[in-house]
Structure 1
Amino acid sequence: MFSFITSFLPTSIIPGWLSLDTDPVDSLLKGVVGACGISVLCSLLRVHLLLEESAGNKDDKNTRTRTSSHHKRANPGFIGMLQFSFVTMVLAVVGSRVASLVVLEFVLRAVSGLITAGRDSDKFVQQLLVQSQFPLGCALNCSLHFLHQGAEHRWLCLLLAAALSWWLARRVTILLQHVTALYTLHSSQGYCGICILLLTSGRRLLPTLCTATTISFCVAVLAAIATINHHFLSATEAFRFWTPLTICYTLLVVYMQEDQHRLPSSQAVLNAVVVRLGGLMVLMLTVGRWADVFHILLCFLGEAGCIIPTNDLLDATSSQDGERRQRQ
């Protein structure tokens, strides 16, 4: 349908570097799946933090104040739908090549950070989950692009994936609203099956979330490497691309790990986003195409649309880590 409409437009109106690399309907469906994945990640992480706050400080007035603030951020209403639509459109426009680069860069930084985290590994894992929102959307995007590449009726498969993702994101959002409003009462009274289950096995929520996220990125790494190599005509061209990418991001990872220990959590995360995507932009200006540069600029907006509304999660992980050390 999109090709039928654009056939009536002069080719000079839509530059080649602004056009999508797949059908717009497929791109939109992949954007919906990516945005739903981000929504599920944030909602489950908020549920985990609420369970930790309720279990660790039941009688602390400061915790109640922080939890009530957490309630307001957990039910954004219209603003949440606006953010979901914005992230969906960004993921729909960002090409599979740039999405693959974002995934590879994030995985490299995550592995390096986990190796050097030391005794702050628990705090780093939770902060890494917050930072992985937009890369997770890119991971789902490039995985779907790779798995459905060449399929005759891929839009039907993507429509089914988008519907299932929407249903799952909606159910997790309802779970978050239930826990936010009624967990304290139901867990003490013992007559709600959901709250009793979270009370008895809520500690396994974060490891399960980490495992699911790890599997998603492992699949995305394979898809990303295949997608990027697909754009090269020869081994020499691929070597010319991968060599500066590896050197550049090895240096960036070392710099960001040192910078993250000096600055507050939210400021360090924003600095890391600017440095990472700035490095990608320099690389694309050297060996990429104008479409890649344009898509990286969109990634700046996508990262901002994911990180800025969830700064409270970064502050919550830092405060809980400090309280945990005081109790020890």
Structure 2
Amino acid sequence: MVSFIGSWLSWILDCLTLETTPLNSFLQGLVGACGISVLCNLMRVHLFIKDISKGSEPNSKDRSLHTSGSKGGLGSWLQFWILTLILSLVGSRVASLVVLEFCLRAVSTRVTAGPESQSSSTRQFMVQCQFSLGCALSCSLHFLHEGAPQRLLSLLLAAGLSWLLASRSARLWSHVKALYPLHSSQRYCGVCITLLTSGRSLLPALTRALVLTFSVAAVTAVFTINHHFLSATEALRFWTPLTICYTLLVVYMQDEQSRHPGAQAVLQTVMVRLGGLMVLMLTVGRWGDVLHILVCFLGEAGCLIPTQDLLDAALRDVSDEIPRIPKGS
């Protein structure tokens, strides 16, 4: 019995074996978690300034948006380090698959969405892309630094810069949440005055940064996946069911979210697309990929559940724009 349990544990550890040294994998996961933190903080800054600029008293949902994620207590730090650990465990192959699935979904939604709903759908996708962004950063770093003689030094530099950006964005959100209404009205603080005059460019700049990040990650994802194949026939045997599966998932998820908009539908689509990817990996993948996808479930939950306020705000923007379409027609 002891030998049986030991063999199973050794098999699981072999499947979860890191592709690089543990320190390199940890630094890649740290960069991904810092990218998620920067995205959430800047999204909160944007939504806060948008609500204040309306000049109306925020309702209860807006107050929850303004207060959540700003205390920086034990829960926020625990979430950050859990995401770092999860992104460190996810292999580059599964991270590449997550990136390609999100890119296909984002491009399909961008093409099919009308011009009147593109801004709100962009905000919704920016909230949903958190774990995919972490995978994009980690798999891009894995590909760009693979075989580099000074890989550890480069990863340390990238992790340091990422930590600095995450700390600055957290301080910006704390400052804006506490002092923006006062400073913007009295023209007292340079940061708040800058946000008051050019705050509308924050979301487009963040969108361009995400597009650039996922464009680079999509290219590196294709090369990373093809690197595991020894022949073109083996690659074709993998890419054909993958493309069909992704296409069907995208069509299903767009139809499901159009019929049942809401945070619950978003969480259900996460289960559907990762479940479909797991079934695909059981067919053409490896056992290690299946275990990494199980880790991805935890990563998606660790990103979406603590940011329900951002998701609700983005979904409210979608529902607010729908009734205005017939009025302008």
5 Å-filtered alignment, 1:200-239, equals 200-239=197-236
Letter in 2 for 1:163: G
Name 1:6's counterpart in structure 2: none
2:65 to 65, 70, 87: 70
| Distance (whole Å) between structure 2 residues aligned to residue 203 and residue 138 of structure 1 | 28
Q: Which amino acid aligns with 1:266?
A: A
Q: Which one of the candidate residues 292, 306, 321 is aligned to 1:309?
A: 306
**Cross-structure match for 2:161:** 164
C-alpha separation between the residues in 2 aligned to 1:64 and 1:268?
Answer: 24
Instruction: Name the aligned partner's letter for residue 199 of structure 2.
Output: G
- Counterpart selection for 2:96 from 92, 97, 100: 100
Question: Structure 2: which amino acid aligns with 1:75?
Answer: S
Structure 2, gaps ≥5 residues long: 1-5
Displacement after TM superposition at 1:46 (Å): 0.6
Matched, 1:51 2:46: no
C-alpha distance 13-314 of structure 1, shift in aligned 2 (>3 A)? closer
Corresponding residue SS for 1:27: helix
Superposition RMSD in Å: 1.7
| Residue 38 of structure 2: aligned partner | 40
The equivalences for 1:1-328 within 5 A come to 14-15=10-11, 16-56=14-54, 58=55, 60-61=56-57, 63=58, 65-76=60-71, 77-118=73-114, 119-323=116-320
**Does the 8 Å CA contact 2:96/2:221 hold for their aligned counterparts?**
yes
Superposed CA deviations along residues 253-280 of structure 1, whole A, max 9, x for unmatched, are 0111010012132112111111111111
Letter in 2 for 1:69: S
Provide the C-alpha distance between the structure 2 equivalents of 1:29 and 1:170, rounded to a whole number of angstroms: 16
Deviation at 1:326, TM superposition (A): 7.0
Q: Secondary structure at the match of 1:19?
A: coil
Greater mean deviation of Cα atoms: 154-163 or 264-273: 264-273
Contact 1:134 1:306 in 2 (8 A): yes
With structure 2 as the length reference, what TM-score do the two structures score?
A: 0.92
Indicate if the aligned counterparts of 2:44 and 2:66 stay in contact, CA closer than 8 A: no
The answer (yes or no) to whether the contact 1:74–1:177 under 8 Å persists in 2 is: no
Mapped partners of 1:321, 1:105: distance in 2? 23
Matched letter for residue 67 of structure 2? K
Structure 1 residues 235 and 321: CA distance shift in structure 2, 3 A = closer
In structure 2, do the counterparts of structure 1 residues 244 and 322 end up closer, same or farther at CA, with 3 Å as the change threshold?
closer
Gaps of 5+ in 1: 1-9
Deviation at 1:235, TM superposition (A): 0.1
What letter matches 2:300 in structure 1? E
Aligned residue number for residue 5 of structure 1: none
> How many Å separate the matches in 1 of 2:112 and 2:322?
19
* C-alpha displacement of 1:12: 8.4
Partner SS, residue 126 of structure 2 = helix
Q: How many residues align?
A: 316
Q: Give the deviation of 1:13 after TM superposition.
A: 5.8
- Any conservation in 2 of the 1:74–1:176 contact (CA below 8 Å)? no
**Which residue identity does 1:68 align to in structure 2?**
R
**Letter matched to residue 249 of structure 2:** L
Residues of 2 paired with 1:129 and 1:318: CA distance?
Answer: 12
Supply the distance in 1 between the matched residues of 2:320 and 2:98 (Cα, whole angstroms): 34
Deviation at 1:324, TM superposition (A): 5.9
Q: Give secondary structure in 1 for the equivalent of 2:68.
A: helix
Larger mean Cα displacement after TM superposition, 38-47 or 14-23:
14-23
Once residues 150 and 75 of structure 1 are traced to their aligned partners in structure 2, the CA distance between those partners, rounded to angstroms, is: 40
SS at the partner of 1:294? helix
Distance 1:235 1:103 in 2: 22
In structure 2, distance between residues paired with 1:174 and 1:108:
34
Q: Whole-Å Cα distance in 2 between the matches of residues 66 and 184 of structure 1?
A: 18
Sequence identity, in percent? Answer: 60
- CA shift, 1:319, in A, is 2.7
1:314 to partner: Cα distance: 1.4
Q: Aligned AA for 2:84? A: T
Structure 2 CA distance, aligned partners of 1:202 and 1:140? Answer: 26
- Give the superposition deviation at 1:201: 0.4
Q: Distance in 1 between matches of 2:256 and 2:8?
A: 45
Change (3 A) 1:26 1:189: same
1-structure distance, mates of 2:252, 2:197: 41
User: What residue is the counterpart of 1:3 in the other structure?
Assistant: none
Paired amino acid for 1:225: V
